[in-house]
C-alpha cells in the first residue's frame, strides 16, 4: 500500500501555520514574510508535496527584472524613456525591482551580452526597442526569460508585445483617403525595425484597397540603420499628404516642409504615430495613432512574470490596440484652414 500523499494541511501543521497561508505561499501570493514563505516551500519539498499542475503558477516575491534599452533609442524625453519610467513603476507596484542597462552601439555590434545577464543578477529581462537581429537572437538564447517590447521576431526564443502598427497606419491612411487625398507618401526607413515595416504595410494596404498608386519616390527614409533620425530628401513633386512612422518623424517632416516654403496642412497634410511627445504651444498639433502603451506594459510584465514562475508554452506575439486621434496637421484635400 502506497504512502499517503501530504496535503497543505499537513505542511501547515509541520510549519505551525494555517493551510490558507500554505496555499498563498505555494501560489506566490503576497501576505507573508520571505522567511515564512521559504520555510513553507522548504518543508513542502522535504515532505514530497506536489503542487497541482492546474493551480496558479508559483511566483516569488521581489524579483529583479532587467530592462535593456539600445542607446540609439534612449534620450531624456524619448518615447522609450517614458515607457521605461512606467515599466519601473508597474514592477514596483507589484513588489519587484527594475534594473536599467543601456546597450551601447559597440556592444550591440560586437554581440556582447549585457552585464544584467552575465552577472546573473536578474530573474528576467525586458528588451525595450529593437537592436540588430543577430544581437536580439543571441540574447534570447542567454538563459533567463525574456520579453521583446515594441518589436518581435517569430524565429527568436522569446515572447513579444507590440502595438497594432499595421492597423494604426491603415486607419490613418484610410482617413486621409476619405478626406479626398489620392497622392499619399510614407516616411520611415522600412529596413530599420519591425514596427516601421508593419506601419508601412498598413499604409500600403490602405492604398491598394482603394486602388491608389504607391510611388517609390514618395517612400522616404527618416533614419540611419543605427537609429539616428535624419531629414528626408524631398521629391521634386510632392504628394498631398505624408503618413509618418512616428510623431518625432512627423514633426521633423513638418519643419522640413516649412523650411522649403510649404504650408502644413494647407499644402501638405502630415500624420504621425504613437501620440508622443506632445508638441509645444506654437507647434501644429498632430493627427496620430495612440497606442495603448499602458496595456503594452501590463502585458509585457505579466508575460515575463509568468515565465519567471515557470510557465511552459510556445513563444508568441501579443498585439495591443489603439485608436486614431485627429487634430490639426491634416485637412481634407483642397481645403484651406
- On whether both 115 and 255 belong to a single domain, the answer is no
- Residue numbers in the chain where pLDDT is lower than 70: 1-3, 19-20, 24, 26-31, 50-60, 278-281, 337
Half-sphere exposure of residue 26: CA atoms within 13 angstroms, side-chain side: 22
Number of structural domains found in the chain = 3
In a domain, 154, yes or no: yes
pTM given for the model: 0.79
In a domain, 233, yes or no: yes
Could you report the per-residue pLDDT of 18-27, keeping only the tens digit for each? Answer: 766 777 676 6
- On whether both 159 and 297 belong to a single domain, the answer is yes
Position 42 scores a pLDDT of 78
Position 304 scores a pLDDT of 96
Residue 192 grid cell = 530599420
- On whether both 234 and 169 belong to a single domain, the answer is yes
- On whether both 188 and 283 belong to a single domain, the answer is yes
- On whether both 286 and 183 belong to a single domain, the answer is yes
- Annotate 238-272 with DSSP letters as a single string: --SEEEESSHHHHHHHHHHHHHTT--TTTT-EEE-
- On whether both 17 and 126 belong to a single domain, the answer is no
C-alpha 198/C-alpha 314 separation (Å) is 23
CATH of residue 30's domain is 1.10.260.40
Domain coverage including residue 70: 64-163+293-323
Cβ atoms within 10 Å of 21's Cβ, excluding its own: 19
Position 54 scores a pLDDT of 46
- On whether both 131 and 174 belong to a single domain, the answer is no
Residue 68's SS3 state is strand
Could you report the per-residue pLDDT of 76-128, keeping only the tens digit for each? Answer: 778 899 999 999 999 999 999 999 999 999 999 999 999 999 988 899 999 99
- On whether both 151 and 234 belong to a single domain, the answer is no
- On whether both 178 and 268 belong to a single domain, the answer is yes
Amino acid at each position: 500500500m502506497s504512502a499517503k500523499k501530504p496535503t497543505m494541511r499537513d505542511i501547515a501543521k509541520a510549519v505551525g501555520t494555517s493551510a490558507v497561508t500554505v496555499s498563498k505561499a505555494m501560489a506566490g501570493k503576497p501576505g507573508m514574510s520571505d522567511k515564512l514563505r521559504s520555510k513553507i516551500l522548504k518543508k513542502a519539498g522535504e515532505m514530497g508535496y506536489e503542487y497541482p499542475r492546474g493551480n496558479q503558477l508559483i511566483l516569488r516575491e521581489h524579483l529583479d527584472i532587467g530592462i535593456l534599452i539600445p542607446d540609439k533609442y534612449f534620450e531624456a524625453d524619448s518615447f522609450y524613456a517614458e515607457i521605461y519610467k512606467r515599466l519601473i513603476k508597474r514592477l514596483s507596484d507589484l513588489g519587484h525591482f527594475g534594473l536599467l542597462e543601456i546597450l551601447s552601439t559597440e556592444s550591440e555590434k560586437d554581440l556582447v551580452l549585457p552585464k544584467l545577464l552575465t552577472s546573473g543578477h536578474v530573474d528576467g529581462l525586458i528588451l525595450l526597442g529593437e537592436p540588430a537581429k543577430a544581437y536580439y537572437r543571441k540574447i534570447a538564447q542567454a538563459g533567463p526569460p525574456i520579453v521583446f517590447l515594441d518589436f518581435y521576431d517569430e524565429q527568436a526564443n522569446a515572447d513579444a508585445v507590440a502595438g497594432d502598427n499595421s492597423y494604426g497606419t491603415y486607419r490613418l491612411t484610410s482617413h486621409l483617403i476619405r478626406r479626398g487625398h489620392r497622392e499619399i507618401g510614407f516616411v520611415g526607413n522600412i529596413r530599420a525595425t519591425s514596427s516601421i515595416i508593419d506601419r508601412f504595410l498598413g499604409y500600403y494596404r490602405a492604398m491598394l484597397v482603394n486602388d491608389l498608386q504607391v510611388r517609390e519616390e514618395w517612400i522616404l527614409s527618416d533614419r540611419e540603420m543605427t537609429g539616428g533620425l535624419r531629414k528626408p530628401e524631398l521629391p521634386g513633386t510632392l504628394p498631398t499628404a505624408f503618413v509618418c512612422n512616428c510623431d518625432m518623424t512627423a514633426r521633423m517632416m513638418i519643419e522640413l516642409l516649412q523650411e522649403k516654403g510649404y504650408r502644413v496642412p494647407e499644402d501638405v497634410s502630415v500624420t504621425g504615430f504613437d501620440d508622443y511627445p506632445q508638441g509645444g504651444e506654437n507647434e501644429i498639433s498632430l493627427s496620430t495613432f495612440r497606442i495603448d502603451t499602458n496595456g503594452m506594459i501590463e502585458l509585457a510584465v505579466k508575460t515575463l512574470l509568468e515565465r519567471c514562475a515557470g510557465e511552459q508554452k510556445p513563444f508568441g506575439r501579443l498585439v495591443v490596440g489603439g485608436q486614431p486621434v485627429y487634430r490639426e496637421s491634416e485637412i481634407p484635400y483642397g481645403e484651406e484652414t
